Amino acid sequence: MPLSRRDLHALTGVYALDALEDGAEYRRFTRHLRRCTSCAEEVRGFREVATALAFAASAEPPQELRERVMAAVGRTRQLPPEVTAQRRFRIWLPDIHLGAWLPRLATATACIAAAVVLGIALLSTRQQLNSVRAQSQQIAAVLAAPDVKTVTGPVTTGGEATVLLSAVKRELVVSTNGLAALPAGKAYELWLIGPSSAGKAAIRRAGLLPPAVAGLTAPVLASGLVAGDKLGVTVEPAGGSNQPTTTPILLLSLPAKV
Amino acid sequence: MSRMDDTDPDAPGLASVPSPEGDERDLSKLLRLVAVGDQRAFELVYQQLARPAYGVIRRVLRDPAQSEEVTQEVLLEVWRTATRFDPAAGSAATWVLTIAHRRAIDRVRSEAAAAGREQKTAWDGSDSGDEVADLVAAMLDRERVQGCVGQLTDVQRESITLAYYGGYTYRQVSALVGVTLAAIKSRIRDGLLRLRDCLEVS
């Protein structure tokens, strides 16, 4: 008996509670879910309800369970992430679209990989592509550095910056998400701010952030990192300034031992 | 700008792995750390989710030893597949507890398939009376959910309880309660819509 569309829609509840048994109906519904965004949204909400029901049923597991699980964790290899560029691109865009689900801390690597893909996708001329490739290789080298570290910090005007850095290579890669859009003629500029000596901090230019696409900026590589550096971000005229001219909206300590 | 001080702690700790303690309650962040192999972060996830996971599995399976076994499998699956967690698809707690409920159901259904006719007699009602009512009562003790579940109609509450805590398929619920499949579908959906609004989940 074929199900009407309306019948299919009505299955969101039983599906979310795992009360739809495997079979033709289950397969039809899961196919339908892929096309029906309102159904998928409804299922998502119902699963959150089910989560509340699970919490309401909380019970204390035996203490040995914790020890057994932690012991098993120690000897269990994790699945690799799904890493094809295309897939990541697809996953991260809805993240950004949904605002509330913005990745807040680091899958910094993923964030930057997505940004690399974005950067490449946005550029058309061969020259630009070549320069991105060269930069991407340098970025990849930072990501692959054995001492790579991740730091994330909130930008005071909204959004956050993620920094991957290698002390050995003295390089860092900066990517952001969710930063406020700037008026024409303005850009976000990055600064490396060294420890102050004689009351004056040594401030070096570290590049301009490219315009954001879907809230993400393509990664910017900066070199010449020294111990005690902080990363600063200010809003400057589009071409950048020699020294910051506005109050920093981010001042992030970088791991001390560079 | 006072905010700058917040981001500028001169913390030597930054030189090491980012500490999960500061975000101890943020499961999404913890799972990201778990995804890169952080066992300490996994322990914090355990702290928050082992009880609801074990609780819901036990509601469905009843048997403590089996429940413990399935809970262990679920938590290990969370460890193994944290790399695949997609925050766009729902909250971290929901991801974990969906797996927990699903694995309990898998266990029920594979055993039901093996048990064959025994399971049929169980549906004839022996399992559906007071015991389920007791479970409902116990479940209702939890305050926040209690208020919301209390606002459901009796038939909505019954259907959702049998499906979620009882681990029955909606066909089985329909057989237990003695109403049509279409009616069960809409009771469950309408009930969940009400709970969703009441609990203010998105």
Mean pLDDT, contiguous 10-residue spans, chain A (258 residues): 71 96 91 90 94 90 94 91 48 30 40 54 47 66 76 87 86 86 91 78 87 77 88 92 90 78
Chain A residues whose beta carbon lies within 8 Å of the beta carbon of residue B35: 78, 81, 107
Q: Do residue A67 and residue A109 come from a single domain?
A: no
Q: Looking at B83, B115, B147, which one is the last position of a domain?
A: B115
N residues, chain B: 202
Tokens of B84: 């695949």
Closest CB from B4, B80, B188 relative to A13: B188
Given A16, A72, A257, which is nearest B15 (Cβ)? Answer: A257
8-state DSSP, A213: B
Total count of domains within chain A:
2
d(Cα B157, Cα B193) in Å, to the nearest integer?
12
Q: Cβ–Cβ of B165/A53 closer than 8 Å?
A: yes
Query: What integer best gives the mean pLDDT of chain B?
Result: 78
Q: Which of residues 238-257 of A touch B (CB under 8 A)?
A: 247-248, 250-257
User: Within a 13 Å sphere around the CA of A143, how many CA atoms are in the beta-carbon half?
Assistant: 20
**How many CB atoms lie under 10 A from the CB of residue B86?**
13
Using a CB–CB cutoff of 8 Å, tell me whether A53 touches chain B: yes
pLDDT tens-digit series, residues B32-61: 999 999 999 999 999 989 999 999 999 999
Shortest distance between the Cα of A129 and any Cα of chain B, in A, equals 30
Question: Do both B65 and B150 map to the same domain?
Answer: no
Q: How far apart are CA A173 and CA A143, in angstroms?
A: 9
- A195 in contact with B, Cβ within 8 Å: no
Domain containing residue A21: 5-74
In the predicted model, what is the mean pLDDT of residues B59-78? 95
Pairing state of beta strands A186-193 and A220-223?
unpaired
Phi-psi region at A182: left, alpha or beta (left = phi > 0; alpha = psi -120 to 50): beta
Same domain for B141 and B193, yes or no, is yes
Give the per-residue pLDDT at A131: 57
In 3D space, the residue among A214, A171, A168 whose CA is nearest the CA of residue B88 turns out to be: A214
pLDDT of residue B117: 34
CB-nearest partner of A55 from B9, B52, B86: B52
Q: What is the pLDDT of residue B57?
A: 96
Rounded Cα distance, A54 and A50, in Å: 6
* Residues of the domain holding B93: 19-115
- Tell whether B84 and B156 lie within a shared domain: no
Structure confidence at residue B121 (pLDDT): 34
Structure tokens at B180: 């049509």
With 0-12 / 13-18 / 19 or more C-beta atoms within 10 angstroms meaning exposed / middle / buried, residue A34 is: exposed
d(CA A142, CA A167) in angstroms, rounded, equals: 10
Q: Do A173 and A136 share a structural domain?
A: yes
User: Which run of H or E residues covers position A221?
Assistant: strand A220-223
Q: Would the pLDDT of B12 be above 50?
A: no
Residues B103 and B40 in one domain: yes
Q: Which of A20, A21, A43, A53 to mutate against chain B (most B CBs within 10 Å)?
A: A53
CB-based contact B46 A16, cutoff 8 Å: no
Q: Would you say B57 and B104 are in contact if contact means Cβ atoms under 8 Å apart? A: yes
Q: Is A44 on the interface with B (CB under 8 A)?
A: yes
Q: What confidence score (pLDDT) does residue B189 get?
A: 97
d(CA A55, CA A88): 32
Same domain, B88 and B30: yes
Return the residue of B nearest to A64 by Cα.
B68
Ordered DSSP codes for A104-125:
-S--HHHHHHHHHHHHHHH--S
Report pLDDT for A99.
Answer: 29
Contacts of A146 in chain B (CB under 8 A): none
Cα-flanking dihedrals φ and ψ of residue A124, to 5°? -115, -40
Banded model confidence at residue B146, pLDDT cuts 50, 70, 90? confident
Residues B160 and B188 in one domain: yes
For range B79-104, the mean pLDDT: 92
Shared-domain flag, residues B110 and B145:
no
* Domain endpoint, select from A24, A41, A74: A74
Q: Write down which residue in B69, B96, B115 finishes a domain.
A: B115
Q: How many CB atoms neighbour CB B69 within 10 A?
A: 16
Is residue B11 in a domain? no
Chain B contacts of A255, Cβ < 8 Å? 14-15
Mean pLDDT of B118-142: 40
Q: Which among B43, B165, B173 has CB closest to A57?
A: B165
Q: How far is B125 from chain A (nearest CA, A)?
A: 18
Residue A17, H or E segment: none
Q: Do A50 and B98 touch (CB under 8 A)?
A: yes
- Tell me whether residue A204 is in a domain: yes
Q: What is the crossing angle of helices A108-122 and A85-97, to 10°? A: 100
The verdict on a CB contact (< 8 Å) between B55 and A58 is: yes
